Amino acid sequence: MTMLEINNLHVKLADEDREILKGLTLTVKPGEVHAIMGPNGSGKSTLSYVLSGREGYEVTEGSVTYKGQDLLALEPDQRAAAGIFLAFQYPIEIPGVATMQFLKVALNAQRKARGEKEMTAPEFMRHVKERAAKLNVSQEMLKRPVNVGFSGGEKKRAEILQMAVLEPSLCVLDETDSGLDIDALRVVAEGVNALRSPERSMVVITHYQRLLDYIVPDYVHVLSDGRIVKSGGKDLALELEEKGYAEYTGKAA
């Protein structure tokens, strides 16, 4: 079965007439990693938000099918329970909610929604600890409120830890490389690569090719002015790095 099928998707902001996505079509099969590259303002983040169900966007035309069901009919938490995970470009700080508690509530809410047994506290501790160690996320960080006072690198590592803990089927990574130095980028990319599997798909949204040296995609798509204007293999990313987006935007970069 196809993991994700986006067909002629048109999206505008709910309180503005301006269209941001103008007929985007994309098919992702299980196990595939697709990179979506594009200049600022091309609609990359909008795509990630529409997939995760953020309010403020209106789909005016087209469809999004996830594992055979109409994704757009689901609430954000239902989408997460169905296996969709968005790694935020700017992870949100939640004062007063400890990271560990947050992870436990989220994981068990998803399991409950899927009709699975909730994890016990010891099972959960083991589940998190194994994954945290691989991502250099300390116990101290897990005790702190979600993302509060985390550095840019810590926030991104925490996002990938959430992904590892929740074990989604479709990961959408929105500019996961932004704000990371090369060492942090390597840790994050290793965390993402460890999650690659024949059953799990990824949509990696990025402005720069750099991330794709570490997370090597199967397909690369160029998003410009709300549409995918070119698709190719991983070499397309290198070509973009060299020539810029000018060819696709009709403007000099």
Under DSSP, the state recorded for 225 is T
Q: Is 80 in the site for another protein (CB under 8 A)?
A: yes
Q: How far is the CB of 93 from another protein (least distance, A)?
A: 8
Q: Which stretch binds another protein (CB under 8 A): 99-107, 121-129, 134-142, 226-234?
A: 99-107
Distance from chain centroid for Cα 95: 23
Q: How far from 68 is each of 42, 169, 194, 233, CA to CA, in Å?
A: 27, 13, 26, 26
Measured from the CB atom, the residue of 113 and 238 that comes closer to another protein is: 113
For position 166 contacting another protein by CB under 8 A, the verdict is yes
| Options 66, 88, 219, 248; binder of another protein; rule CB under 8 A | 88
Of 81, 135, 185, 240, which lies in the binding site for another protein, with binding defined by CB under 8 A?
81
The CA distance from 130 to 22, in Å, is 43
Residue 102 makes contact with another protein by CB under 8 A = yes
Per-residue contact string for residues 120-159; x = within reach of another protein by CB under 8 A:
-------------------------xx-------------
Give DSSP secondary structure letters for 40-73: TTSSHHHHHHHHHT-TTEEEEEEEEEETTEEGGG
DSSP strands (E only) in the chain: 4-13, 19-28, 33-37, 57-66, 69-70, 84-87, 94-98, 145-146, 170-174, 201-206, 219-224, 227-232
Our finding on whether 57 is near another protein (CB under 8 A) is: no
Residue ranges that bind another protein, judged by CB under 8 A: 52-55, 75-77, 79-81, 85-86, 88, 91-92, 94-97, 102, 105-107, 109-110, 113, 145-146, 162, 166
